[in-house]
Amino acid sequence: MRSIEELYSMLQEAKLPTESEVKYIMQKAIDIFSTEKNIIYLSSSITIVGDIHGQYNDLKELFCTGGTPPDTNYLFLGDYVDRGPMSLEVILLLTLMKIKYPTKVYLLRGNHESRATNQQYGFHLECLKKYNQSITVWLYINEMFNYLPLAAVIDNKLFCIHGGLSPLLQSVEDIKNLERCRDIPTEGVMADLVWSDPDVGIEGFKLSERGAGFIFGENVIDKFLHVNKFESIIRAHQLCMDGYSILFGGKIITVWSAPKYCGRFDNCASIMEVDENLEKYFNIFEDAESSANLQTDEKKKETQYFNPAMEKYFQ
Ligand SMILES: [Mn+2]
């Protein structure tokens, strides 16, 4: 059995551990996630990352852009697996990063960190293919997913989740009481947190066309922010062509971190840096392939400062 240090170095080069090493990694991760509550309370400065979806090479590009822990604090908003070709490498690298730097790296659960979902959208097949038709690795990793926390709060002001709000959710206290260490149910607060989406032009909640969760309007967001004394909701879960989207004057922000999503979209990706004053900066990055084609000196790491007055240009 190799050490965590050795396994971490291997994953930097996309080399996969053995089945029993995956079991060992997941057990260590479960030990750490078990000590975290349903909502984790964090402090700025911190960099927030949206969906990755198995795009390992682009994740490496993300770390080139945003720095690596322990120099940068990270909060990942979920959806590490499915769709892309290297879900195993992504989730193993991030899990090892969590084990190595448990107070510098935080991982939330997305709707794809669920057996029912990742059996359908690529992760299950990838595990079988890379582990000689054995289902064991897929089972170990899904067991770990059951321990991922559901939400984070930064400086008591920014409420962070994968998806969105729930009609059954009044206060954050309702999240604290959830029995989270299980697969994501098809309905209820836990499901809605990872499945829901904000929408313009609607009032209240409507059932989502995704088949789980809800879409919700500005009045829902206003009420939730007011009741819980938060400034903004930071979430992922929806593809943004610019890498991020800002709705309702910044009351809800979507961060998307999978460039050229699935190889089918020509979208940018971003990570959102939150500084000590809760100022937000979107660090835009390209997919690994496009980035490699650029000469280093012309490589442009674009940072955009979030100014609510410019919201209309961003949508
Ligand atoms: Mn999602």
The CATH number of the domain holding residue 28 is 3.60.21.10
Ligand 1 centre and the CA of 276: distance in Å? 28
Three-class SS state of 116: helix
In percent, the amount of the chain with pLDDT more than 90 equals 91
β-pair partners for 269: 285
Query: Is residue 77 included in any domain, yes or no?
Result: yes
β-pair partners for 164: none
Q: Tell me how many domains the chain contains.
A: 1
Strands of 280-285's sheet in order across: 105-107, 74-76, 46-49, 269-274, 280-285, 303-305
Q: Cβ distance 62 to 257 under 8 Å?
A: yes
β-pair partners for 270: 284
Query: Is residue 217 included in any domain, yes or no?
Result: no
Instruction: Write out the E strands in 92-178.
Output: 105-107, 151-154, 158-160
Domain span at residue 280?
4-195+231-314
Three-class SS state of 190: helix
Residue 302: its pLDDT value, please? 47
Model confidence pLDDT, tens digit, residues 130-143: 999 999 999 999 99
> Both tokens of residue 134?
């054995």
Query: Is residue 245 included in any domain, yes or no?
Result: yes
Ligand 1 centre and the CA of 113: distance in Å? 9
The least confident of 16-25, 36-45, 245-254, 289-298 is 289-298
Q: Is the pLDDT of residue 309 over 90?
A: no
* Residues catalogued as catalytic: 112
Give residue 296's pLDDT band: very low, low, confident or very high (50, 70, 90).
low
Ligand 1 centre and the CA of 107: distance in Å? 14
Query: Is residue 205 included in any domain, yes or no?
Result: no
User: Which comes out higher in pLDDT, residue 300 or 21?
Assistant: 21
> pTM for the complete prediction?
0.93
Ligand 1 centre and the CA of 307: distance in Å? 26
Q: Cβ distance 227 to 203 under 8 Å?
A: no
Q: Is the pLDDT of residue 314 over 80?
A: no
| Parallel, antiparallel or unpaired: strands 46-49 and 39-42 | unpaired
Axis crossing angle, helix 136-145 with helix 87-100, rounded to the nearest 10: 50
Instruction: Write out the E strands in the chain.
Output: 39-42, 46-49, 74-76, 105-107, 151-154, 158-160, 197-198, 205-207, 214-216, 232-235, 244-247, 252-255, 269-274, 280-285, 303-305
Q: Cβ distance 146 to 181 under 8 Å?
A: yes
Cα Rg of the chain, angstroms: 18
Query: Is residue 242 included in any domain, yes or no?
Result: yes
- Ion ligand 1 neighbours (CB, 5 A) are 79, 110-111, 237
Query: Is residue 310 included in any domain, yes or no?
Result: yes
Ligand 1 centre and the CA of 17: distance in Å? 27
Q: Cβ distance 222 to 251 under 8 Å?
A: yes
CA angle, corner 72, sides to 71 and 77, nearest 5? Answer: 150
Report the C-alpha gap between 188 and 47 in whole angstroms: 29
Query: Is residue 208 included in any domain, yes or no?
Result: no
Report the C-alpha gap between 236 and 219 in whole angstroms: 20
Ligand 1 centre and the CA of 6: distance in Å? 31
Query: Is residue 302 included in any domain, yes or no?
Result: yes
